[in-house]
Chain A
Amino acid sequence: MRINSTGEVLTVYLQGEIDHHTARDMREGIDKAISFYMPSLLILDFAEISFMDSSGIGLVMGRYKNLKKNGAKLSLCNLKGNIYKIMKLAGIERLAEIEKGD
């Protein structure tokens, strides 16, 4: 994953596939970046995610809870095709602002 921090906003560009096998490393990477940068807004960018199952929902919900402890917000962008479908199924828009991709 690549990360970019501009003061209050931390953007994490996720890459590859999100399943139960890969989610753990992603979780650790994102949480490390959150505790280092202490952002008020975390943007998770899904543009380079080629596959996601419900492990991605767990990943997003877990980061939401982590951010909430410091009153920070979460936003998801570039949710393509099935990824958008799965996020909607889970009602993620109640926790985070979501932006559909192409």
Chain B
Amino acid sequence: MENNKFALKITSRSCNESFARVTVAAFAAALDPTVEEIADIKTAVSEAVTNCSVHAYPNSIGLVYISGEILKDNVIKIKIRDKGCGIEDIEQAMQPLFTTGGEERAGLGFAVMESMMDSVRVISKKGKGTSVTMKKRISRKDDAR
């Protein structure tokens, strides 16, 4: 049987940050997550979509592709992809406190994603875009919570 999946295409307008995280949370709801797990997923998605809006398309509005899949063992996979400017040095971009976003950005986007999810994988090509793939296992009712 095919895994449950969704795909969504939105513009990189900042008002869509909220729409994106709420949509992914609704998809994840099928796994019966705790309030904390839902908050973790919403936060990680918000960080990734914000990166698209702030960094991938700094001076324009581009498209953001979000997809999700329920894998075995109660794992959710979420992919957020853009066709923006790309990241020159991924290692540097993922360093906590590193930011090119100016005074009001903390530079903790990737650190927050890594802390909220079980795994975060970033692939980027300069001028082509970036994809962030995150996975998180949702605890089951019969797990010790």
Q: Which residues from chain A sit less than 8 Å from chain B, CB to CB?
A: 17, 19-21, 23, 27, 51-55, 57-59, 61-62, 65, 81-82, 85-86, 89-90
Contact = CB atoms under 8 A, between A and B. Distances in A.
Contacts of B119: none
A90 B108 contact: yes
Contacts of B46: 19, 51, 53
A55 B14 CA distance: 12
Contacts, number: 66
B5 interface: no
A85 B36 CA distance: 10
B111 interface: yes
Interface of B: 14-15, 17-18, 21, 35-36, 39-40, 42-43, 46-47, 50, 53-54, 103-106, 108-109, 111-112, 115
Q: Which 4 A-B pairs have the closest CB atoms?
A: A21-B14, A57-B106, A82-B39, A53-B46
B100 to A, nearest CB: 13
A21 B43 contact: no
A78 to B, nearest CB: 16
A59 B112 contact: no
A20 B35 contact: no
A20 B39 contact: no
B108 A57 contact: yes
Chain A residues touching B, majority SS? helix
Contacts of B40: 82
Contacts of A17: 18
Given A17-B18, A19-B18, A20-B54, A53 B39 contact: no
Contacts of A54: 47, 50, 105-106, 108-109, 111-112
Given A81-B39, A82-B43, A89 B15 contact: no
Given A20-B50, A82-B39, A89 B111 contact: yes
A44 to B, nearest CB: 15
6 contacts: A21-B15, A53-B43, A54-B50, A54-B105, A57-B106, A81-B36
